[in-house]
Amino acid sequence: MFRFQLKANSRRLFNASHQIRSVSKKVRSSKVIGIDLGTTNSAVAVLEGNKPKILENQNGDRTTPSIVAFTKEGDVLVGTAAKRQSIINHENTFYATKRLIGRKYNDDEVQKDIQRLPYKVVEHANGDAWLQTTIAQGLSYSPAQIGGFILREMKRVAELQLAEEVKNAVITVPAYFNDSQRQATKKAGELVGLNVVRVINEPTAASLAYGIGGKDKNNGIVAVYDLGGGTFDISILDIEDGVFEVRSTNGDTHLGGEDLDNILVEFILKRFQMKTGIDLRQDKIAVQRIRQAAEKAKIELSHVKSTTIDLPFITKTESISIPLTEEELDNMSADLIERTILPVRKALKDADLKVQDIDEVILVGGMTRMPKIRNTVENFFGIKPTTQVNPDEAVALGAAIQGAVLSGEVKDVLLLDVTPLTLGIETYGGMFSPLLPRNSTVPCRVTQMYSTAVDGQSSIDINVYQGERPLVQDNILIGKFKLTDIPPLPKGTPQIEVMFDVDADGILKVSARDKQTGKKSSITVFGKGGLTDEEVKRLVDESKQTTEQDQVKLNFLKLVNNLELIVFDTEQALKEIESFVDTTQADTLKRKLITVKKMIDDARKGDLLDQDLIKAAQEELQEEALQVIQKAAERSKAQRKAKD
């Protein structure tokens, strides 16, 4: 394991307006479209005149279902066409794949989804979750490839409407997407020939739509509450004179309308089983019909007080007819809605704001049409949420505005987004050295100087983590690489410059350079999949809940590190003065050093020794070393005097 010692620190933010100018030179050749690649539905928009405009698909719809199907005839269906045949071709019809993008097959949330999905999810060679068809000998696709088919359809819609080729696009992602998920989304666009000029956070995009498409020149502190089909985000922005600065962001990458659909499906299945004694859970076609009926009922109850779920002949002899009221739906959704409030509280705290400081609340995502959600948000903030921008369209409209900013069409808007989690590296003793705190404005770059902690060390393993805890064992490893050919010098001598570079898409590049030789190594970090609810809770919540426990571990490691440094200094001093040291004293000190080094080794292996024991060993070693040094100094002085 590589060990670092902190030497110095420097930080420099990029000039965001310079980046906009450099991007605009590359995209002037054509329109920049904005695409909201949603879990349930997707939309595409473009700036026409001074206003963003949603581009309708060939059916005249302003949104397109995020569904892709493969037929036995070899056709690929996207959108409404795919949705229409999903019941009879459920094994080859893929929906809600955004929840799987950039995730590992073994993730807890993926395993939960697998139990409910009618199609097959398999583990790819790299450990990612992929989707497998039952045709063409079980052909498999990554979630990014499925996203690519949807993006290609959005590109086609735009080209038909604009009557010109479209090459450039801004694509949105949930604010809490990690590096792997952002990279996968960007790759999906590139797979279908799009030049993805920017990946931006969904709530941030929505705020742009509100700021330009809503009131004239909005100024103030704005909260964007974004609850869509598969994810939840909350962002706090400071909007002033065309500058949209994100103060903080939080969320849950596995919470949305799909979860309420799952609850409704289970409710219907239980009601039917109670009535007939028939369990339909293994009947994939029946479950798919129930899912579509559940989604339809959920949407209807956003504007009526009651509805009936009717499914004739769900079996050969039985039908489903279940009345459902808004109140029943509210009770079913209560826990899900409550789960959104905790990230809201965290975002406010991170922004150093109180609820009363919020001037406006913007609702984004189809789920926010639900009266229960609107009432919950209004009660929490104490103000009526803004609904003047269509919640299904706001993200795509904002992406189109950002595209126009990047192409130079819009010149009086500047967007300053942030990183969702703290980024840093592992240092000596398993400690986490943060380089970039969460909610840092992007794009940004930060450098920090480190050195070796072992004599003669010629290579370094640099482990990159994201999280909020002081020890790396409690955070998430998102990447690692090696810096080699370091001159074998005494520890603390080499100067290793580590740089974190986060671009405007929120994608991280890490590099390390030996300042003496100029040798450099770097990676663009690909995370280990989407963060589950439990991981996000652990990364942020536990950083506060376990502060005392973390501090004990941190203090212990600092003691061990300091003791090891004293051992090193003592050994070096003993080499220099050995000719003046009494043999008996030298042997006693060496035995003491061996005992202390064993204690350090035990601590490095994970044995959490008594801190008083470590302190006592340090004091004893320092006292014995001091006595030896003093005696050696006296002998040296006496020898010099004798020579004189």
What would the 3-class secondary structure string for 130-160 be? EEECCCCCCCEECHHHHHHHHHHHHHHHHHH
pLDDT at residue 334 greater than cutoff 60: yes
Pair 498, 10: CB distance under 8 Å:
no
Given the residues 109, 113, 128, 226, select the one marked as catalytic: 226
User: Would you call 226 a catalytic residue per the annotation?
Assistant: yes
> Could you give the percent of the chain with pLDDT greater than 70?
88
Please give the residue that has the higher pLDDT: either 243 or 397. 397
Which residue reads 């005494």 in tokens? 490
Q: What angle do CA 64, 420, 386 make, to 5 degrees?
A: 55
First to last CA, the chain: 52
Q: CA-to-CA distance for 554 and 575, rounded, in angstroms?
A: 32
Whether 590 shows a pLDDT value over 90: the answer reads no
Q: Is residue 411 among the annotated active site residues?
A: no
On whether the CB atoms of residues 383 and 358 are closer than 8 A, the answer is yes
Pick 420 or 228 by higher pLDDT.
228
Q: Is 295 a catalytic residue?
A: no
Which segments of the chain belong to CATH 3.90.640.10? Answer: 257-332
Fold of 29-214+389-407: Nucleotidyltransferase; domain 5 (3.30.420)
In this predicted structure, the answer to whether residue 555 has a pLDDT above a threshold of 80 is no
Residue 566: pLDDT band (50, 70, 90) is confident
Q: CA-CA distance, 343 to 357, in Å (whole number)? A: 17
Architecture of domain 5-14+419-545: Sandwich (2.60)
Instruction: Give me the pLDDT at residue 218, please.
Output: 59
515 is a catalytic site residue: no
pLDDT of 483 above 80? yes
Mean pLDDT, all residues of the chain:
83
pTM: 0.68
Residue span(s) of the chain under CATH 3.30.420.40 come to 29-214+389-407
Rounded Cα–Cα distance for residues 273 and 296 (Å): 21
CA 602 vs CA 566, 589, 616: distances in Å = 17, 20, 16
Catalytic residue among 113, 128, 153, 202: 202
pLDDT at 583: 80
**CATH 1.20.1270 residue ranges for the chain:** 547-643
Class of the CATH-defined domain 257-332: alpha beta
C-alpha distances (whole Å) from 237 to each of 102, 223, 293, 522 are: 27, 6, 38, 33
pLDDT at 6 over 50: no
Q: Does domain 547-643 have CATH number 1.20.1270?
A: yes
pLDDT at 379: 97
Portions of the chain given CATH number 2.60.34.10? 5-14+419-545
| Distance from C-alpha of 356 to C-alpha of 398, rounded to nearest angstrom | 26
For every residue of 157-171, DSSP letters joined together read: HHHHHHTS---EEEE
From the list 98, 104, 155, 553, the catalytic residue is 98
